[in-house]
Amino acid sequence: MLTPFQSAKVATLIEKAGFPPGVINIISGHGHISGNVMSHHMDIRVLSFTGSGRTGRVIQAAAAKSNLKNVILELGGKSPCIIFPDANIEKAVEQTKYSMTFNTGQVCMANSRIYVHESIAEHFIELFKKSFADVKAGDPLLPTTQQGPQADEVQYKQIHAYIEEAKKVGKLALGAEPSQHQNGYFVPPTIFLETPEDARPMKEEIFGPVVHINTFRDEEEVVAKANDTEYGLYAAVYTKDINRALRMAKKLESGSVGVNCTSPTGAKDMPFGGYKASGIGREGWTVSIDNYLETKSVLISVDDE
């Protein structure tokens, strides 16, 4: 667990709220120990997990080998954002930039793949590059900070490895060598252009402030590119044409589609979850409780006497 203090804080609030002891339990530990036990436990009948696809597959396999417990998975993403010529370019630049710096890019629905129509690509890239370069990194507790460090050394090194691989196949438009500061592992905002669609950095979740910007000619081409991934968590479309927006929303293989907005924009009262390897099931205020309930039919035969 990389964020144990969050759960520890929740535990203190649960106690203050007056919950009876044992109703809610917080277990801190590593997945291969505590998580493995829970996944195989015969008395646990529901598991909800948020994390990587690799771990999600392990949990689902463990559930199948134990008691076929219900598993709800919210996993990774490689979320596309599509910019059409009639879009509000300035708005698209600011919102896509924020999507990639929010939580230092460590967000499953960050729009790490941006597809820009070739007629406006030069203008969009120029604005995005300038905006991304101006991101202020530093202490995440300070109100002036826009981007903090990565979660740990493992994540930092993994992002660095993806950047080095992307340099071999794509065009680096913005970025510097990741630096191991005394106060954290910082990865500068990084942009790649013209990265081949089948390259590993375009296919796999980097989970950091690294964005790939490619171009497209028409709807058919960009839909094929956007859907050519094992993930399907969040997609975004920027256009003033509502008919085009609805066409794209229908064709995109994604659990959520933002029109003229992008992640982390969401609605708590709407189901959230992914297609394909991005997860199983849905979460949200109106649906989460259903994950922990069973449907039962009761048939009663009443005698005539």
**Single pTM value for the model:** 0.91
Residue 198: its pLDDT value, please? 97
Among 220, 252, 230, which residue's Cα sits nearest to residue 262? 252
Handedness of CA 18, 22, 26, 28 (dihedral sign): positive
| Whether pLDDT at 148 is above 70 | yes
Q: What are the extents of the domains in the chain?
A: 4-74, 80-259
Place of tokens 């964005």: 211
DSSP string, 165-187: HHHHHSEEEE----EEETTEEE-
Cα–Cα–Cα angle for 154, 159, 164, rounded to 5 degrees: 125
| Whether pLDDT at 165 is above 60 | yes
pLDDT, average across residues 142-150: 92
Q: Tokens in use for 238?
A: 């920027």
Asked if residue 221 lies in contact with residue 268, where contact means CB atoms within 8 angstroms, the answer is no
Mean pLDDT of the chain: 93
3-state secondary structure of 12: helix
Among 152, 141, 146, 136, which residue's Cα sits nearest to residue 184? 152
Residue 261 bears catalytic tag: no
pLDDT, average across residues 226-237: 97
Residue 181: its pLDDT value, please? 63
Q: Which residues pair with 174 in a beta bridge?
A: 191
Asked if residue 160 lies in contact with residue 187, where contact means CB atoms within 8 angstroms, the answer is yes
Residue 108 bears catalytic tag: yes
pLDDT digits (tens, 9 = 90+) for 167-205: 999 999 998 776 666 678 999 999 999 999 999 999 999
Selected catalytic residue, list 15, 90, 108, 194 = 108
Residue 33: phi and psi, rounded to 5, are: -110, -80
pLDDT digits (tens, 9 = 90+) for 248-276: 999 999 999 999 999 999 998 999 999 99
Output b/e per residue, 44-70; b: 16+ Cβ within 10 A. Answer: eeebebebebebbebbbebbeebeebb
Among 230, 221, 225, 223, which residue's Cα sits nearest to residue 212? 225
Asked if residue 60 lies in contact with residue 34, where contact means CB atoms within 8 angstroms, the answer is no
Let me know how long the chain is. Answer: 305
Residue 182: its pLDDT value, please? 64
pLDDT, average across residues 135-161: 91
Residue 179: its pLDDT value, please? 64
Q: Cβ of 117: how many Cβ atoms within 10 Å?
A: 21
For the domain 80-259, what is the CATH code? 3.40.309.10
Higher-pLDDT residue of 23, 215: 215
Q: Tokens in use for 246?
A: 């609805």
Residue 176: its pLDDT value, please? 75
In the 8-state DSSP scheme, what is residue 73? E
Residue 7: its pLDDT value, please? 87
